[in-house]
Amino acid sequence: MGSLAIFAGGFGSGKSEVAVNFAIDMAKRSQKTILADLDLVNPFFASRDAKEKLINKNVRLVAPGGKLAFGDVPNLPTEIIALMKQDNDMLIDLAGDEVGSLVIGYLSKLVIGRGNYEFYLVINPYRPFAGELESIKELRQLLEKAGLIKFTGIISNPNMVEETNLDLVLKGHRRVVEFAGELELPVKYLTVEERVYNCLPHEYHNIAKIIELYLRPGWLLGSGGGM
Amino acid sequence: MNKVLMKGNEALAEGAILAGCRGFFGYPITPSSEIAEYMARKLPKIGGIFVQAESELAAINMVYGGASTGTRVMTASSGPGLSLKQEGISFISEAELPCLIVNISRGGPGLGGIQPSQGDYFQATRGGGHGDYHTMVLAPASTQEMMDFAILGYELADRYRIPVVIMAEGTLGNLMEPVIVRDEVTNFVEKPWAISGCQGRKPNIVNTLHLTAEELEGRNRHLFSKYEDIQMNEKRAETFMVEDADIVVVAFGLLARVIKRSVIDARKHGVKAGLIRPMTLWPFPDEHIKAVTDTCKVILSMEISMGQMIQDIRLAAEGRVPVEFYGRIGFLPNPEELTREILAVAERKGL
């Protein structure tokens, strides 16, 4: 049985973007990389938007497809059940907030059956509610209870999209580290764009991971927030 | 300066709360549901009321009731839900009650799809329900404006005692951008008309039934004198590079922001393009359109619909320049596609 990584987090925490990047990275080492987009909540800006890019990078995407990509109905791709029982390297992009708990509850036995897994909580402290420890605790409890599995670590993803800079990343990351202490979970990664990575102090390099924004519409990049 | 990374829908909801909104009544529908979710999470903690009603009809009538007490209240939905709410909006308009009504638009007609759309332009700007009336309609283009227009919307609603509609494409409702969180609104106008307990004064009555023809006509004339004031004072538009433009694109919402890119790109190709972005769809900023008819050679209406705003543009242009159209349904076109279209129109017109 190969590896399994599950990415959960508050609505809009950046978990889809992180999952897409981790999947592309995994595909460099594994011929059997699968990214399962199980985001039932909202089809706008979901992992499946990066379909072409993922296919080009040798990642198999399992997601509501065809007409149902914009179906607006809770829809899990059925092949996920079989694929969970097969030998592959699987990454799961879980729906945000409480709806994610339905999905992880449903898959719980299969996750446990695979043995080893990573269950990441993705946090961007600049999102509403994610700046409050109570909200994060609530989400954690909900998902752990439903899935009967424990989080194995936190992915710190402090960003303001185009307006992200080093100062903002470091301040946000410190906040995440504080939360991690309270939650008694290790911070396993700090995800940043390459331009920020290049100016990160050395001490962060052991956990820093470069991500590309695959799901961000091109027309926003560099256009500034205004108009 | 407090900046938060927000989805358009969240920014709008937070803006409404900052503006003093203490009542949300709605029925969920994609792509607007994050507004209800945000309100459900926050309003009960600050002394507000959140009700997920049994239907859109119930929700809009709760807004009717809530607004008549003078409280800042709102509802949010998308096309099919807005259609159901039209009867109530007609009543609220005649009763002259301020409130915020949000349409995070999806493609129609019918159940349509949840992809972005601007096809509810007619419904929003022509009243939408029965009888002679208008609502004010604001069209934000960024996540920041989702917050700012919610605040502005309540201000206008109270000032003119009118329902204010905010209309944004589903994509904008779901787009995340950094937002400067504004200060809480502390200045509110007096509402001597509100049904707020009549100790020491005569009871206020909210009623939309007028049995005599004289009274009915009088009410309509009253409403329309108010609409004239609004048309005089509240037209808003942003213009971009129109001064020397041969081709002026008119577009609203997030689409207008994408087109800003295309205007710059078209200029790189030697075509002098410009952009007018109506920020109020009603009152429609016709003076902004009229002003460019002396200098430009063609106007191009770009919409995510089969062509609705183009009628208002043509009325404003008074036949002085030709008005062309380019539309998509269910897609937010990318800047490359829009640039190609601007260049094609320029070539057809020999620019």
For residues B226 and B248, state if they share a domain. no
A225 contacts B334? CB cut-off 8 A: no
Chain A to chain B, count of Cβ pairs less than 8 Å apart? 75
B178 touches chain A (CB under 8 A): yes
Question: Tell me, what's the pLDDT at A226?
Answer: 40
For residues B241 and B200, state if they share a domain. no
- Residue A69 has which token pair? 């990509």
Using the 3D structure, point to which of B217, B233, B249 is the last residue of a domain.
B233
B260 touches chain A (CB under 8 A): yes
pLDDT (tens digit, 9 = 90+) per residue, A69-101?
Answer: 777 777 788 899 999 999 999 999 997 777 788
The answer, yes or no, to whether residue B13 has pLDDT greater than 80, is yes
pLDDT (tens digit, 9 = 90+) per residue, B75-91?
Answer: 999 999 999 999 999 99
Using a CB-CB cut-off of 8 Å, the residues of chain A touching B334 are: 217-219
Cβ proximity of B36 and B63 under 8 Å: no
> Range of B302's domain?
237-348
What mean pLDDT do residues B106-126 have?
Answer: 94
Mutate to test the interface with A, among B5, B9, B339 (most CBs of A within 10 A): B5
B10 contacts A219? CB cut-off 8 A: no
pTM to 2 decimal places: 0.94
**At B104, is the pLDDT very low, low, confident or very high (cuts 50, 70, 90)?**
very high
* Percent of chain B residues topping a pLDDT of 90: 96
Of A131, A161, A218, the CB nearest to B176: A161
Cβ proximity of A39 and A94 under 8 Å: yes
What number of other Cβ atoms are within 10 A of residue B28's Cβ? 16
Of A45, A218, A226, the CB nearest to B174: A45
For residues B197 and B300, state if they share a domain. no
Using a CB-CB cut-off of 8 Å, the residues of chain A touching B6 are: 127-128
Residues B77, B82: Cα–Cα separation, whole Å: 6
Interface confidence (ipTM) of the complex? 0.89
- Residue B171 has which token pair? 């994509």
For residues B325 and B259, state if they share a domain. yes
Measure the CA dihedral B223/B224/B229/B231, to 10°.
120
Using a CB-CB cut-off of 8 Å, the residues of chain A touching B173 are: 44
Interface of B with A in 101-130 (CB under 8 A): 113-115
For residues B188 and B254, state if they share a domain. no
Using the 3D structure, point to which of B233, B248, B266 is the last residue of a domain.
B233
Of A70, A128, A218, the CB nearest to B6: A128
For residues B206 and B242, state if they share a domain. no
Contacts of A53 (CB under 8 A, 6+ apart): A20, A24, A214
Using the 3D structure, point to which of B176, B205, B233 is the last residue of a domain.
B233
- Residue B302 has which token pair? 């770009």
Of A161, A163, A225, the CB nearest to B142: A225
For residues B322 and B342, state if they share a domain. yes
- Residue A151 has which token pair? 């989080």
Q: Determine the number of helices (DSSP H) and then strands (DSSP E) in chain A.
A: 7, 8
Question: Tell me, what's the pLDDT at A95?
Answer: 75
Domain boundary assignment for chain A: 4-220
The CATH superfamily holding the domain A4-220 is P-loop containing nucleotide triphosphate hydrolases (3.40.50.300)
Mutate to test the interface with B, among A42, A49, A223 (most CBs of B within 10 A): A42
Question: Tell me, what's the pLDDT at A71?
Answer: 72
Interior CA angle at B325 toward B321 and B330, to 5°? 160
* Percent of chain B residues topping a pLDDT of 70: 100
Q: pLDDT higher for B260 or A73?
A: B260
First to last CA, chain A: 51
For residues B113 and B181, state if they share a domain. yes
Amino acid type, B262 = S
CATH number at residue B142: 3.40.50.970
> Quick one: which of B165, B117, B137, B139 has its CA closest to B333?
B117
- Where do runs of H (alpha helix) occur along chain B? 8-18, 33-42, 56-68, 79-94, 121-125, 143-160, 170-174, 213-233, 253-268, 286-292, 309-317, 335-348
The answer, yes or no, to whether residue B10 has pLDDT greater than 50, is yes
User: Which of the 8 DSSP states describes residue B4?
Assistant: E
B252 touches chain A (CB under 8 A): no
- Residue B42 has which token pair? 């926050």
The answer, yes or no, to whether residue A18 has pLDDT greater than 90, is yes
For residues B93 and B183, state if they share a domain. yes
pLDDT (tens digit, 9 = 90+) per residue, B23-62?
Answer: 999 999 999 999 999 999 999 999 999 999 999 999 999 9
For residues B141 and B28, state if they share a domain. yes
The answer, yes or no, to whether residue A225 has pLDDT greater than 50, is no
**At A39, is the pLDDT very low, low, confident or very high (cuts 50, 70, 90)?**
confident
B134 touches chain A (CB under 8 A): no
pLDDT (tens digit, 9 = 90+) per residue, B271-304?
Answer: 999 999 999 999 999 999 999 999 999 999 999 9
The answer, yes or no, to whether residue A222 has pLDDT greater than 70, is no
Question: Tell me, what's the pLDDT at A44?
Answer: 77
The number of domains in chain B is 2
